[in-house]
Amino acid sequence: MKDKILTIFLTVVYFLIFCYFIDLVFRNTLSVLTDLLAIACWIIAFIVSAGLAEYTVKKLK
């Protein structure tokens, strides 16, 4: 149970870090294409952050 909570916490932290960088890249754009790219980056960032969280928890054990 403790590992699951740590994994969820690390996923949220990594996702927020990725969202900060995605916001820096797509901040001043006003196009539909860039909005779709930003949404795709958010989805990819969530998947990567979940993977990084799993990897971090396994390394901490």
> What's the confidence (pLDDT) of residue 54?
96
- Give the number of domains in the chain: 1
d(CA 38, CA 23): 8
Q: pTM of the predicted model, to two decimals?
A: 0.86
Q: Mean pLDDT for each consecutive 10-residue tract of the chain (61 residues)?
A: 92 96 90 92 97 95 84
Asked whether 22 and 39 are in contact (CB, 8 A), the reply is: no
The pLDDT, as a whole number, for residue 11 is: 97
Do 22 and 35 contact (CB within 8 A), yes or no? no
What pLDDT score was predicted for residue 23?
93
Per-residue pLDDT at 29: 84
- Provide CB contacts within 8 A for 19, sequence distance 6+: 42, 45
What pLDDT is stored for residue 44 in this prediction? 97
Which range of residues forms the domain containing residue 19? 2-60
